[in-house]
Amino acid sequence: MGAGLSKQIRTMFPQVYEMYQRNCTQAANRQDLLGKVLFCPIRYNGCEWLIANLFAQYGFGRDKCYTDYAALRKALTVVRTVATPLPARTLTTVRIPYKMGSGLAGGSWSIVEQIIKDELVAYDMPAEIWEKESI
């Protein structure tokens, strides 16, 4: 969580980073985390939010693709399951950072975007792609 959106989350919500670190430290092999999701509940501006850390890459850099598309697909099915409405809960909108998995993870945004469509949109799950506004 040292760059991009994850760094912003780390700065704004240090408790999310602490949960992430604890989760990673407890894993015997970090590759075993691929496809899993760590949900971190937070309160922000009077609202309850659930930040989902998707374990869908192993390593980072611009030299190759570190995004594991199968792990991303698996993690998004978990997100879809959690976001699906229950009798006591309304439908949740899933907000996804623009070009997730395509920066330092080296993945193809067109492939990631198709996985989002396959695993969320195709199931009528409201999904929004959030892009940082430039100043």
Q: What is the dihedral of CA 24, 28, 31, 34, to 10 degrees?
A: -60
As a whole number of angstroms, the distance between CA 99 and CA 108 comes to 8
- Which phi and psi angles does 127 have, rounded to 5°? -130, 135
Taking Cα atoms as reference points, which of 90, 73, 87 lies closest to residue 126?
90
Q: Which residue has the tokens 């940082």?
A: 132
pTM, rounded to two decimals: 0.86
Q: What is the DSSP letter of 91?
A: P
Tell me the per-residue pLDDT of 19-50, one tens digit each, with 9 for 90 and over: 999 998 888 888 889 999 999 999 888 888 88
| Domain chopping of the chain, boundaries | 4-130
Assigned CATH for 4-130: 3.40.220.10
Tell me the per-residue pLDDT of 40-96, one tens digit each, with 9 for 90 and over: 999 888 888 889 999 999 888 888 999 999 999 999 999 999 888 766 666 678 989
